[in-house]
Amino acid sequence: MNQWSPKRATEWYVSQPWLVGCNFLPSTAINQLEMWQAETYDPATIDRELGWAESLGFNTIRVYLHDLVWHHDPIGFAERIDDFLGIASRHGMRTLLTLFDDCHRPDPWLGTQPLPVPGVHNSGWKQSPGAVIVEQFHYRTVSDAVVERLRSYIKGVLTRFGGDDRILMWDVYNEPGQSGHGDKSCELLKLTWQWAQEARPLQPLTGCLDGSGSAECIAINAANSDVITFHCYDGSKLEQVIMKRKSEHDGRPAICTEYMARELGTTFQFSLPIFKKHGVGCLNWGLVAGKSQTHFNWESVRRLEELREQGAVLRPGDPIPEPPLWFHDIFRIDGTPFDQREVDFIRDMLGATRG
């Protein structure tokens, strides 16, 4: 095991600016596959929308990769990652790359992705590597070929970009145990850490604590993370979670890699002053309300199958519906904000030039 010492992690953290930014998916992509596949990779939209992030004063961006894209086209995928890192860097942002993910739809596939279901939060987001493979690791029925495919993905990406200073950190596995996986994700999670540490990039490795779906997954991430990361969407718990993560784990620095759900009280006006007071980096969920529709709340997912059976989809060119109060996200696809006062607050808080 080659986890960074708390001293090294702290020295790394204090050399950074206050890390503030967002989780990013371009508005033209419904999921990670559509973001990264050659046929649908959209650098023009990425450039435009990261310009809006820059205008807020953001300096950090978190994005998700997908193992299937690497398996299908490792050279092309690496070129697109390199291109994305270049765009983000030109907008003054460093990138946190996320490798695996247990959230939302369990059945990823390559090629044409599903059309959005109107008014449903993340109706087309796909897990990586997906529920079937996670359970195969748990029940020890996974094939050698699948193990090698995933090992080659983790080690391939980390070897290719492990010395790239445009990358801030690596998130090895987002919210392991979510979507009902529970402890079934632990076997793959342990192997993912082993592969990542064998590749040992120059940047820190992390896996979230609060936000993971089982106590064992949290313990595995805590025992391996160079820098502690966590998720918190509940305003009533935010300061409590921050204090817990800052006081535990041998004094390692803490970063919140997901927050900001207006209905739950973690607005920018509420959250940013708390993060700044405690010296904690923070990345809200979402930038532009696009095909993923994360400006609708989690409860909207309850209607997903009903609406699919009715054939309800958003086709290219259809207007994206809006709830009265947005859950996540900041801008519409035309660049206008959901709440101009909120945008002004962020810019004032981060010292950005108004635009």
What pLDDT, on a 0 to 100 scale, did the predictor assign at position 353?
61
Give the orientation angle of helix 144-161 with respect to helix 74-90, to 10 degrees. Answer: 30
Torsion angle defined by CA atoms of residues 28, 168, 350 and 255, in that order, rounded to the nearest 10 degrees: 100
d(CA 333, CA 48): 10
Domain annotation for the chain: domains and CATH numbers: 6-350 (3.20.20.80)
**Arithmetic mean of pLDDT, 66-89:** 98
pTM of the model: 0.96
Give the dihedral of Cα atoms 116, 313, 68, 204; nearest 10 deg.
10
Is 354 a residue whose pLDDT tops 60?
no
β-strands 60-64, 20-23 pairing: parallel
Residue 139's pLDDT band (cuts 50, 70, 90): very high
Provide the pLDDT for residue 1.
59
pLDDT, tens digit, for every residue of 23-72? 999 999 999 999 999 999 999 999 999 999 999 999 999 999 999 999 99
- Structure confidence at residue 179 (pLDDT): 82
| Sequence letter at residue 139 | Y
Average pLDDT value over all residues in the chain: 96
**Average pLDDT, integer, range 103-126:** 96
Three-class SS state of 142? coil
